[in-house]
Amino acid sequence: MPPINLGLVGFGKIARDQHLPAIAANSGYRLVGIADPHSRLDGVAHHASLKAMLDATPALDAVAICTPTHLRHSQARLALEHGKHVLLEKPPGATLSEVDELSDLAERRQLTLFAAWHSRFAPGVAQARQWLAGREIRAVEIEWKEDARVWHPGQTWIWEPGGMGVFDPGINALSLATEILPRPFFLRSANLAVPSNCQTPIAADLAFSDVQETPIRAAFDFRQTGPQTWDIHVDTEAGRLSLTQGGRRLSIDGRVELEAEEREYPGLYARFAELVAGRTSDVDVAPLRHVADAFLLGRRKRVAAYVE
């Protein structure tokens, strides 16, 4: 099979740090263009917009959209209308309605739409899901705390409507929980801490449960300094499973079962190539639905202004 001619839409931090190395390491792709009004890469054709890239590159097969969330629907729609397969960086849209419309359009056009929950490709995820299958889940604790100043410098859009604030990383935790837990779960209450100069929360405490009333608690915080925390602990009748370091380490009752280097984006691009080959889609909105529920049910408390 010839390589997939791929264009990157948006060339900010996540595209440079994660997408670019994964594409370069996969012989199934050829990076043929970058669409970004402000950023470019030497040796790769530059375009000021997605439309310009589509017009200039008839051989383009697919695009990976890495722009801020509120721009993704119109860009993905334009690409699908031009017959291109689409990978959407997480979250796949600013609203559930946007993602549903894109999914319907991709199906009608027989094109691939991939909601790329990269954390699900962390090394310990598949084994964690397998170990938990069929077990009695007694309680779940999720702790996802990082420093916004380190991971999102200058990204003011994250504090505006659609930017999601602390749910930008928190949705990664939710993408893991919805992947490894054997039953669906539902939000029961949420407390959202919103800086006085922002529209989105800097911290969130969430309480979920499933149909068996299993307590599932999540704490997200963008104010963490020092060591960063990306951990999920699941108590079962057979012991405690801990998926930590964002999914890189899997432990059972403190015994390390698996620990590996991060390879989320290489796995993500391998999956996208499979989907494109079969002209099928993978669009799971469960993590985004939980975030939408938090904004719908959450009690908001104003806290100190955020200053980068």
Angle, helix 286-297 to helix 96-109, in steps of 10 degrees:
160
| Residue 51 known to be catalytic | no
**Phi then psi dihedrals of residue 208, to 5 deg:** -120, 165
Count of residues in the chain: 308
Between CA 19 and CA 177 the distance in angstroms is 24
Residue ranges with strand state E in 36-184: 46-47, 62-65, 85-89, 113-116, 137-145
Between CA 175 and CA 117 the distance in angstroms is 6
Angle, helix 167-180 to helix 286-297, in steps of 10 degrees:
120
User: Could you say which of 13, 51, 84, 90 is catalytic?
Assistant: 90
Between CA 87 and CA 6 the distance in angstroms is 10
| 278, burial (CB in 10 Å: exposed 0-12, middle 13-18, buried 19+) | exposed
Sign (positive or negative) of CA dihedral 278, 90, 147, 180: negative
Token pair listed for 279: 């002209």
Between CA 253 and CA 235 the distance in angstroms is 9
Q: Which residues are catalytic?
A: 90
